[in-house]
Amino acid sequence: MSLIEVKNLEKTYFTSDLKTEVLRGLSFSIEKGEFVAIMGPSGSGKSTLLHILGFLDRPTSGEYRFESKTINDYSDEALAGLRNAKMGFVFQAFNLLPRVSVLDNVKMPLFYSGIKESDWNELSLQAINQVGILNRANFTPSQISGGEQQRAAIARALVMKPQVIFADEPTGNLDTKTGHQLMEILKTLNEENGHTIILITHEQDIASYAKRIILLRDGRIESDRKMTN
């Protein structure tokens, strides 16, 4: 079975008398270990799709299966636990707590896990080392660069050893050189560590790191193609 299966997925928002169709009948699957970029112009539905795939929102209709189980099989509380255990998230804005160290930021998902506290430091330092900023573990976000902050965010996403990492415009706040350095980290995590990566971006050069690109337009899949990297 595929890691992710989507069939006839639709998402519609209703506000007073206004009906907005954001996703319109999407169907695709993603295998474990894939690196997929989801592209599209603003308003195409790519962030809404990521929110549904990451259990941050529910579809209006259609089917979404993760590890062969449908999202409708879970309560919101159960989804939150599954999201923390199986999924890591990296956002454009880093979303780090400003007054605590990189180490303590990376530990955050462990607070909501069943992992014993005596293991938290070791697991967090392993993740920080994976992204190459072990020498910044005791610095606060304000003491490190934007690129290092995003590396810390990736380490936080890695600490639970998730099945899939969702990266939503992860290079959006970085200069070109730093953005490409960050993408090399994601590429390595995919190729050497086997993490499934689902990347949201509107930049072709960033999407080119992926092995497959799904292009959305007006809430529909316009193309779905494998890359020959």
Average pLDDT of every residue of the chain:
92
Task: Give tens-digit pLDDT for 132-182.
Answer: 999 999 999 999 999 999 999 999 999 999 999 999 999 988 899 999 999
Contact 10, 57 (CB under 8 A): no
Pairing assessment for the beta strands 18-30 and 4-15 based on DSSP bridges:
antiparallel
Task: Give tens-digit pLDDT for 28-65.
Answer: 999 999 999 999 988 899 999 999 999 999 999 999 99
* Residue 218, phi then psi, degrees to nearest 5: 55, 40
Predicted confidence band at 229 (pLDDT cuts at 50, 70, 90)? low
Which CATH number is 218's domain given? 3.40.50.300
| Residue range of the domain that includes 203 | 4-226
In order, the DSSP letters of 142-175 are GGS-HHHHHHHHHHHHHTT--SEEEEESTTTTS-
Half-sphere exposure of 12 (CA within 13 A, CB side): 14
Read off the pLDDT of each residue in 207-218 and give the average, rounded to a whole number: 95
Residue 169 tokens, joined: 């415009």
Structural domains in the chain (count): 1
Structure pTM?
0.92
